[in-house]
Amino acid sequence: MADEYEPLKSGTYEMLGGDDGVSGIKPEDYIGIAEGGVFTGAQVFRQKIYRGQMFPSLGYTNKAFLAAMKVIADARKDITCVYDSPAGLTRSQVEDWVKNSGAYSEDEFLLTGWNCEVYWDWQKDVADGQQVILPPSLYVTLNSLISFSRVGTWFPVAGDTRGVINSIAVVTQLPMVSDRDSLVTHSINPIYDTGTRGIQIYGNETLNPAFTDLSAAHIARTLTYIRSTVDEYTETKKFELNDSILWAEWVDYVQDRVLAPIRDNRGLQWFRATMGAAITPAEEISQRKVRGRVELQFTPDAEVFVLEYVVYASSEDLSA
């Protein structure tokens, strides 16, 4: 057997007759199963032993798979789905694809959810000296994780500061700013070539079905972070005595250790944590239950600037 693998060691083995890695593979193969302790495909990530923050589709855009990603994210409560739109779509086509309209009106799955984001379009890049086309989720995930490590989840990963993409070109150029803005109104985050300011993520939208604070990606990501962090801490308090001392410990930890640092770094404007008899009926306490509540007011991003310019006649006296 050792001789058989020698070409691999020397780096001279040729791989012939390959394809794009998708041929013959069905969506259910990517989705996988979670039965009897056996996990395959994306279902592997149902296991919390695999920690994560971002769940990118990495170029596979079948909607059944994307919907399965959201089910996993909902179950885990600690990850954000980053969806790629199919390669080669025009602006109007990708808007129809997201909303299940036009040519996509018969699609079975509608992409929705505050913990889901979609990006357009693919990127031209170079790998091993060859030009390749790569999905946007690759770049978005990389930018996001870098931003998370530097400033936290509560800053938008978009624009000049945190949204610049390191690629050669966007596959489909947006000819007008109105095209870019149209994508955003359809909850699609465009990757846009600004020219002198580089290629940038130019949207901060989730697939939240209603326009609320959770339509902003940075707020949704921060809620995901808070929820998973508080849930993880709460698990450590199971089987402790269900009394006012436990409740006070929980409130202090959530407020001082989780929420205050986010507020101090501009991610929250206001918060309050409550646990115990004030919000838990006596009957539930007798059943070994206790309720906790976390109230939050997030800091929105500055997306629309309304500027006013007043031009005075050069002959006018403005000294008074």
Indicate whether 84 and 201 sit together in one domain.
yes
Q: Quick one: which of 184, 215, 187, 220 has its CA closest to 202? A: 184
Indicate whether 48 and 153 sit together in one domain.
yes
With respect to residue 55, please indicate whether it lies within any of the assigned structural domains: yes
**pLDDT at 129 (0 to 100):** 87
3-class DSSP assignment, residue 139: helix
Indicate whether 127 and 202 sit together in one domain.
yes
Q: What is the pLDDT of residues 148-189, one digit of tens each?
A: 999 999 999 999 999 999 999 999 988 888 898 999 999 999
CA–CA gap between residue 115 and residue 54 (Å, rounded): 10
What is the amino acid identity at position 175?
Answer: P
From the CB of residue 274, how many other CB atoms can be counted at a distance below 10 Å?
17
CA–CA gap between residue 236 and residue 238 (Å, rounded): 6
Confidence band, pLDDT 50/70/90 cuts, at residue 73: very high
Q: How many domains does the chain have?
A: 2
Indicate whether 252 and 170 sit together in one domain.
no
With respect to residue 295, please indicate whether it lies within any of the assigned structural domains: yes
Q: What is the pLDDT of residues 307-319, one digit of tens each?
A: 788 888 888 888 8
Looking at 187, 218, 249, the residue that finishes a domain is 218
Q: Quick one: which of 208, 210, 206 has its CA closest to 188? A: 206
Indicate whether 209 and 260 sit together in one domain.
no
With respect to residue 143, please indicate whether it lies within any of the assigned structural domains: yes
With respect to residue 117, please indicate whether it lies within any of the assigned structural domains: yes
From the CB of residue 175, how many other CB atoms can be counted at a distance below 10 Å?
9
Q: Quick one: which of 152, 120, 174, 155 has its CA closest to 300? A: 155
Domain that holds residue 144: 42-218
Indicate whether 79 and 161 sit together in one domain.
yes
Indicate whether 159 and 258 sit together in one domain.
no
Confidence band, pLDDT 50/70/90 cuts, at residue 14: low
Which residues, 6 or more positions from 266, have their beta carbon under 8 angstroms from its beta carbon? 154, 299
Indicate whether 50 and 197 sit together in one domain.
yes
Indicate whether 168 and 310 sit together in one domain.
no
Indicate whether 213 and 244 sit together in one domain.
no
Indicate whether 62 and 207 sit together in one domain.
yes
Of the given ranges (4-13, 85-94, 104-113, 198-207), which has the lowest mean pLDDT?
A: 4-13
Looking at 183, 218, 253, the residue that finishes a domain is 218
With respect to residue 291, please indicate whether it lies within any of the assigned structural domains: yes
The model carries a pTM of 0.87
Indicate whether 126 and 51 sit together in one domain.
yes
